[in-house]
């Protein structure tokens, strides 16, 4: 049982958390409290997880099913050491939508499977050799650029939905903004979900919602399953997503490690493999690709409960919900105007998350390598440049991601050879003078070696 991570010790009396303490991953509160917290995790992931299939036209109930199954699989593979929920990844929205136009839903699912396989293989390498090579391959300037361009590349899709019903979209967007600043705790964290609910009510009053499919659906039944098809043309669309998933997953594992006071470096590879396996499973059944969820990390930070028992409850509860076709069709009735308002915020948030990576890691844009890497990658991604080679078509996300990697490493190699860049890659403002001097000296030594 302990090998599966399903053997928990009771924390204290099971009813309260002592000041300064947390409920560790291998502990649990009394079952009624644990079940309540598990259901809270479902609520936390709900809005974001459902937005992906609604936007991409995938079956919401199927996505929910594989979200729950993926979470349980993740807990087993990580042996219960990493408390996390696997929900729909926003990084898959753009490639799924692009691949559907050419290869249909089945072709998009083939891309999801491909991304999952690559992610799992990277996880196996990380588990064997450690994650340091990822940091060298994708430093903050590269990771931030890729995350930012994925979000900003979706801007036209947000505008198209917004234009479909501007009044509903505007009310949805304004509600999201107000809720995020007016409320604290879980309600503030669920601002997008609250905005969607309010926008949906407005859409109902304006006659923009149709319930024909929901009325015809059964209360209990199987989700809609679909099988993938594999086309070489989707490779360029989905491989860049893997880079984002790796950065996201590793970052979340580090966050959980910091909050629980545990060293999880030894299980970071398992977390990536589990995420990859869950994505493969979802792709074979008709669900969206998965990722670890920051929303649920926020719930843990607020409750101080990091018990994986709560995530077992969340996973099982999500699976049970998925077996109501009527519930799935209800979710699918969300109209374009509501999606346009939510997507305006959501896609912008993804773009800004890339900037946040730069800020948190003090990326120095006085360094021409950093500046050029970000500038070129962002324009390629936002303008959605395209390059076709036979059956392969590389669009803005793929080309922008490739540009970020090639420009950064290419310029860095040339600068080292010529000794032309002495600016540090990170900001030195606020550092002690001795540290600044050491960094500048190291940069100059690097320049001299290249001469």
Q: What is the pLDDT of residue 449?
A: 44
Q: What is the pLDDT of residue 392?
A: 67
Domain assignment present for 272: yes
Domain assignment present for 151: yes
Report the distance separating Cα 294 and Cα 332, nearest Å: 24
Domain assignment present for 448: no
Q: What is the pLDDT of residue 69?
A: 95
CA angle (178 as vertex; 172, 181 as ends), nearest 5: 140
3-state secondary structure of 79: coil
3-state secondary structure of 388: strand
Report the distance separating Cα 422 and Cα 444, nearest Å: 6
Domain assignment present for 77: yes
Query: How many CB atoms are closer than 10 A to CB 217?
Result: 18
Domain assignment present for 61: yes
Give, for 394, the enclosing helix (H) or strand (E).
strand 392-394
Domain assignment present for 203: yes
Domain assignment present for 302: yes
Reported as a single tens digit per residue, the pLDDT across 284-326 is 999 988 888 766 776 777 678 888 999 999 999 999 989 988 8
Residue ranges of the chain with pLDDT lower than 70? Answer: 1-5, 47, 185-190, 294-295, 298, 302, 391-393, 421-422, 428-451
Domain assignment present for 135: yes
Q: What is the pLDDT of residue 431?
A: 53
3-state secondary structure of 393: strand
Q: Rounded to an integer, what is the distance from CA 274 to the centroid of its chain? A: 15
Q: What is the pLDDT of residue 446?
A: 46
**Total structural domains within the chain:** 1
Range of the domain at 385: 9-418
């Amino acid at each position: 049982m302990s090998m599966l991570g399903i053997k928990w010790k009771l924390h204290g009396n099971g009813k309260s958390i002592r000041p300064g303490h947390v409920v560790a991953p291998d502990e649990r509160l009394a079952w009624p409290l644990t079940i309540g917290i598990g259901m809270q995790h479902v609520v936390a992931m709900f809005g974001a997880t459902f937005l992906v299939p609604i936007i991409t036209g995938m079956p919401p109930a199927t996505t929910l099913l594989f979200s729950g199954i993926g979470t349980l699989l993740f807990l087993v593979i990580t042996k219960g050491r990493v408390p996390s929920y696997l929900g729909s990844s926003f990084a898959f929205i753009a490639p799924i939508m692009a691949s559907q136009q050419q290869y249909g839903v089945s072709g998009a699912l083939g891309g999801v499977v491909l991304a999952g396989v690559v992610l799992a293989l990277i996880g196996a390498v990380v588990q064997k050799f450690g994650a340091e090579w990822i940091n060298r391959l994708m430093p903050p300037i590269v990771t931030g650029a890729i995350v930012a361009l994925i979000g900003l590349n979706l801007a036209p899709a947000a505008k198209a939905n917004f234009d479909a019903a501007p009044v509903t979209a505007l009310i949805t967007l304004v509600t999201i903004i107000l809720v995020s600043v007016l409320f604290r705790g879980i309600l503030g964290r669920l601002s997008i979900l609250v905005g969607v609910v309010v926008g949906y009510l407005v859409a109902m009053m304006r006659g923009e919602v149709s319930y024909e499919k929901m009325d015809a659906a059964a209360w209990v039944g199987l989700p809609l399953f679909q099988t993938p098809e594999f086309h070489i043309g989707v490779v360029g669309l989905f491989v860049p997503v893997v880079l984002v998933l790796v950065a996201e997953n590793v970052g979340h594992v580090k966050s959980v490690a910091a909050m629980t006071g545990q060293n999880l470096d030894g299980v970071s590879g398992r977390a990536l493999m589990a995420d990859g396996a869950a994505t493969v499973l979802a792709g074979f059944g008709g669900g969206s690709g998965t990722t670890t969820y920051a929303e649920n990390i926020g719930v843990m930070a607020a409750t101080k409960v990091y018990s994986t028992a709560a995530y077992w409850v969340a996973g099982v509860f999500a699976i049970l919900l998925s077996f109501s076709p009527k519930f799935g069709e209800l979710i699918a009735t969300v109209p374009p105007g509501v999606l346009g308002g939510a997507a305006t915020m959501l896609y912008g948030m993804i773009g800004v998350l890339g900037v946040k990576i730069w800020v948190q890691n003090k990326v120095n844009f006085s360094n021409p390598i950093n500046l050029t890497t970000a500038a070129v990658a962002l324009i390629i991604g936002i303008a959605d440049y395209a390059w076709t080679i036979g059956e392969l078509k590389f669009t803005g996300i793929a080309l922008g991601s490739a540009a970020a990697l090639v420009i950064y490493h290419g310029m860095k190699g040339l600068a080292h050879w010529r000794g032309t860049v002495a600016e540090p890659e990170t900001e030195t403002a606020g550092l002690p003078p001795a540290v600044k001097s050491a960094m500048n000296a190291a940069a100059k030594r690097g320049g001299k070696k290249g001469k």
